Chains A and B, each alone.
Chain A
Amino acid sequence: MEGSRERLRRLLEPVHDRALSFARCLCRARADGDDLYQEALLRALLKLDGLRDDAAFRAWLFRIVVSVHRNRCRRAFWRRLLPLGEASDGDSTSEPPLLLDLRTSDWSPDAANAASRARAALAALPAVQREAIVLFEIEGWQVDEIAALQRVSASAVKSRLARGRDRMRAHYHQQPGGAPTPALARGASR
C-alpha cells in the first residue's frame, strides 16, 4: 500500500489541480466536491495496481471521479425514495455555504451570486450533461476527449452539450426576475 501511495503521489501531482477543480464544479457545494474528490482518490488508491500505463492516469482518474459522481447521484435518488435524514454527503440537494465564503474571503457578492446561479443550473442537469458541460466549458477538454471519458460517440457528446446548454438557458429563464442583467453578470467575471 505504501508503494501505491508513493506512485499515486507521483502521478497525481500534475493532474491534481484539474481533477479537484472538476470535482468541485460537478457538485453544488464546494465541500461536497472535496468529499467527492477524496472518495475518488480513495478508490484510485485501492485500484492503482490495475493501472498498467502511467500515461493514462489522467483519463483514468477523471473516469473514477465521474463514476463516483454518478454513484452519488444514484444514492441521491435512493435517498429521495427512502429519505432517512442522514448526514449530507450528496451533491445537488444541499445548499452551498455562500455566506461563510463571503465573510471569510475577498470573494465579491456579484461573483458569489454568479457562481451560485451557475451551480444551481448545473445541478438541475442530468449527470452526463453536467459532466460534459463542466469538462468542455470550464476544463477546456475537446469533444473527442470527453467522448473517450464518457465512452460515447463524439456526436453524443455534442448532443449532451447542446441539451445541457438548452436546459441551463431554461433554468435561467425560470429564475425569479428572469435572466440576470448583463451588468450583474459582468460582476461575476471580475
Chain B
Amino acid sequence: MTTLDDTITRDLAAVAADSRRAWRTADDALARLDVPTTRAAAPRLDALALTAVTQVFARRVARIAAGGAAMLVIAIVATPAFLVIGNGGYDIAAAVDDNALGIAAWLAAPMLIAHTVARQLAARWLATRLPSSASPDELARRLARRVDGWSTGVLFAAGTWIALVAGVLYLAFHRSFPLTPWFERFADGTTRMDRLDPLLVALFATVVVACVLGRAFTRALPWAPRTARLALAAGLAAAALTVGAGLRFELWPIAPHAVPTRVASWFLTVVGAGSVMLLVGVFAWWVRARDERAVATCPPPAAGAARIALLENVFARRVAWTNAGVASLLTMALVVAILNWPDRYTLVCFGSAPFCGAARDLMPSWIAELLVADDHRWLRVFVTIVAAHALGARAGRWIFGRVVGRAGGLPEENARELVVRVADASLAAVVAGLTAVATIAVTTRWSFPDMLPSALYALANDVARTTLRQLAIAIALIAALASLLGLGRARVTRTLRHPLALGLGVALAGWATWVGTSRDLNVLHATYDRASRTTTYDSPPLELLRPALILGVTVGAFLIFTWLALRWRGRTRDPAA
C-alpha cells in the first residue's frame, strides 16, 4: 500500500510539473480577457433576453386571468350575500360543502385553469409575433408595460378578496356554511347576513383601491421601497391589532351567545380590511418589482433571440404536457391503489363499517379524501392534473434557461434540439394520461359506482379484488404501450397513424362500452336473505367478459388517442423545423 501511495504522490507531482508547462504570465491571462471567446464562456443571457420579457408578459396576463377567476368564484359561490338572491343561491352554495378541500378545489380549479390557459395563450401569442416584428425587444417590453397596471390591480384585488372572505368566514363564523344559521336571528334582532354588511363594503372598497393602484402603476408611479416597508409594518401592526382585539375582547367568533356590537363589527372590518390591503399591497408591489427587475436587467437581445423565445414556449408547453400526462397516469394508479387498500387510506367511516380502525392514523388520509372520497373527486383529479401541467411548464422554462443559457454551442441549435427531443415523450405521456383517465373513469363507473364506499364494502369480495388487479394490469399496459410510442420508431408511428388503427380502436372501445353499460358489472351486486337477515355479495364473476371489457376500453382508448395525437402533431407546424 505504501508503494501505491508513493506512486500516487509521485504522479501528483507529475501533474504539478505538467501544470507548469506552456506557462502563461499574468499579463497574458489578463490580455485574454478581451478575447471574445472568453466572454462567450459566460452565461449567454443575451440569447435569452427576450424569453425573460415574454415570460413577464405571460405571467402578468395569467395573473389577470387567475385573479379574475378567483373574484368571480368568490362573488358567485363563497360570498354569502349571494344567498339573499333566492333559492338559486342555495344550489350553488350547497355544491360547496363545508369540507375545506371542497372549497379549496372550487376556488383552485378555476384559478389554476385560468392561469395555465392564459399564460400559455399569451406566451404563444407573443412568441409567434416576435420573429416578424421589426423591433421584437420593444414590442415585448411595450406589451409587458401595457398589462402592468391591470396585473397589479387584479392581483391586489383578488388577494385581498380571498384573504378577507376566508378570514371572516373562518375567524368570525368558524366555517359555518350550513344555510339555516345564516337566517337565525340574534338577540338584537340581526342575522349573520346583516352582520356581513361591513364585509361587503370592504370588498367594494378593495376594488376601488385596486383601480387606483393599477392606474398608478400604469402611469409609472411605483412605490418606493421605503414606502413599501412602511406599508408592510403598518399592515402587520393593524393585523396584530385586529386579531389581538378580537381575541382579547372575544369579538371572534360571531355566535348567538356572543354577538359583537355593530361598532365592534365595523371596527374589526375597517382595521382588518386595512391590514389585509396593506399586506397584499406590499406583496403585489414585491411581485411587480421582481418582474420589473427581470425586464430591466435583460441585456439587448442577440440575433435569433426572437426565435429562441418561440422555441422556449414550445419546449415549456411540451414539458408541461409530459408532466400532466405522467401525473394523470400516476393519479389513476393511485386511485386503483386506494380502492385496493381503502382501509389504509381513508378517514371516511360508514356506520359500523369495520374497516376504520387504527389505520386512520397511519396513512395520509387526505389522499383518499382528495381523489376518491365524494362527488367532487373528478374535479380534484382534474385540479391535480392542471397543477401538474403548470408545474411542468415552470420546470420546462427553468430547464430551458439552464441548458440553453449555459451549455456550449449555439443557443439556437441547443434550443431546437431540446424541442425535438422532448416531442415523442410529450406525445406518449399525453396519450398515456388520457387513456388512463378514460379507462379508470369508465371501468370504475361499471364496477365501483360510488368508488370508496364500494371499495370499503367490497373488501371481502373476491370479484372486487380481481377487478382491481385487472385495472392495475391495465395501467401497466398503458405505461408499456406509451413507452413504445415514446421511442418514436417510425414503423410504430406509421402503423398507429393508419386509419385502420383508428377503426380498430373505435370498434374495441364501442363494443366494450356497449356491453359494459348493458350488463351488470357492479362488484357490490348483493342479495338480501330475509330469513337470516344477511346480505350476500354475489357479484357476477364474469371471468372472461370483465377483463375483456377492461382490455377493450384500454386498447381502444389508446388507439383512438394515439391516432388523434399523431394527426394533431402532423397538422401543427413543428417550430424546430
Query: Which residues of A line the B interface, CB within 8 A?
Result: 5, 8-9, 12-13, 16-17, 20-21, 24-25, 30, 33-35, 37-39, 41-42, 45, 75, 78-79, 82, 84-89, 101, 105, 107, 111-112, 114-115, 117-119, 121-122, 133, 137-138, 165, 168-169, 172-173, 179-180, 182, 185-186, 188-189
Contacts and interface: CB of A to CB of B under 8 A. Distances in A.
A79 B16 CA distance: 29
B42 A39 contact: yes
Given A172-B7, A182-B7, A186-B10, A20 B29 contact: yes
Contact of B5 (A82, A114, A138, A169): A169
Contacts, number: 148
Contacts of B27: 9
Interface residues of B, number: 46
A189 B9 CA distance: 10
B33 interface: yes
Contact of A78 (B26, B406, B413): B406
Contact of A185 (B7, B33, B407): B7
B525 interface: no
A5 B30 CA distance: 8
B29 A137 contact: no
Nearest to A21: B19
Which 6 residue pairs of A and B lie closest in terms of their CB atoms, listed nearest first?
Answer: A86-B408, A86-B409, A118-B11, A24-B19, A16-B26, A114-B14
A38 B409 contact: no
B8 A78 contact: no
A172 B417 CA distance: 38
Given A38-B38, A82-B403, A180-B7, 16 more contacts: A20-B23, A35-B41, A39-B42, A41-B29, A42-B42, A79-B407, A86-B407, A86-B408, A111-B14, A111-B18, A114-B14, A118-B11, A119-B18, A169-B5, A172-B4, A186-B10
Contact of B6 (A30, A35, A182): A182
Main SS at interface, chain B: helix
Interface string B1-40: 1011111111111111111111111110110110000110
A121 B11 CA distance: 10
B408 A34 contact: no
B569 interface: no
Nearest to B415: A84
B8 A121 contact: yes
Given A111-B14, A115-B11, A118-B11, A179 B21 contact: no
B483 interface: no
Contacts of A9: 26-27, 30
Name, among B6, B10, B421, the residue most crowded by chain A CB atoms within 10 Å (CB to CB): B10
A182 B1 CA distance: 12
Given A9-B26, A16-B29, A115-B17, A137 B406 contact: no
A87 B409 CA distance: 6
A20 B14 contact: no
A4 B143 CA distance: 39
A41 B33 contact: yes
B422 to A, nearest CB: 9
Contact of A137 (B12, B20, B39, B421): B12
A99 B14 CA distance: 16
B402 interface: yes
B11 A185 contact: yes
25 contacts: A16-B25, A20-B24, A21-B16, A25-B19, A34-B24, A38-B29, A38-B41, A41-B30, A42-B33, A78-B403, A82-B418, A84-B409, A84-B413, A84-B417, A87-B408, A88-B408, A105-B22, A114-B14, A118-B11, A118-B14, A119-B15, A122-B15, A138-B13, A185-B10, A189-B13
